[in-house]
Structure 1
């Protein structure tokens, strides 16, 4: 992938754009980063787990997650030759339930857009308890 005049890779720009759109509830912005047939897989057994297949389903998942009031702290944007991973610390409180998890969201890119997302979590049990 290419770099801009500042030496920033296209993968890095996609990762930052995804995070920025998520924290700003810019659903059209997220949608614009995705291939139509993109898939997002989350572990666990809860309201947001499993595969979200297709760009619209991914946007709906992002909306649902944000609807739980999460704070999405970006720790690092990591790039490989072709892809990008976001290292995040997500926190939220809902009544007596507290979410405090670290995760990596790995975005595989094709032609500068996201074709698949896989999320790795530090606390699947905590996620299961929170997202009911």
Structure 2
């Protein structure tokens, strides 16, 4: 396999599974001890520990009706990142943010995820605790 193709393929597959709401597909890409950290103070922020918690976080984010537009897959010698443009509308509240989701890989799987956002206050306003999807 060409150099960096593993990272590119993992990034393409992760995005495709997220966009298709393929939770088993996402789970298959993760190590059991994976973590996912998101900034902010909202219904999806903080750190999710373990593969099941990461899948549940992905489900919760998707439940808000997000469109996950893939802009770029970025690679390093051992890891990858997704550059995304996420948009959604919940009533009068609109989400329009750019983000990078940095994935550290181990043994061909995602071992940790850290998401960097362009608009943390906008994310906090969209993923409000107490909304129908934010519980």
Q: How does 1:46-125 map to 2 (within 5 A)?
A: 46-125=42-121
Matches of 2:8 and 2:50, distance apart in 1: 23
Matches of 2:11 and 2:49, distance apart in 1: 20
TM-score, structure 2 normalization: 0.93
Quick check: 1:13 aligned with 2:2? no
TM-score, structure 1 normalization: 0.95
Unaligned runs of 5+ in 1: none
Unaligned runs of 5+ in 2: 129-135
Deviation at 1:71, TM superposition (A): 0.3
Structure 1 segments (4+ residues) deviating >2 Å: none
Deviation at 1:116, TM superposition (A): 0.1
Q: Secondary structure at the match of 2:64?
A: coil
Matches of 1:12 and 1:84, distance apart in 2: 7
Quick check: 1:44 aligned with 2:40? yes
| Alignment size in residue pairs | 128
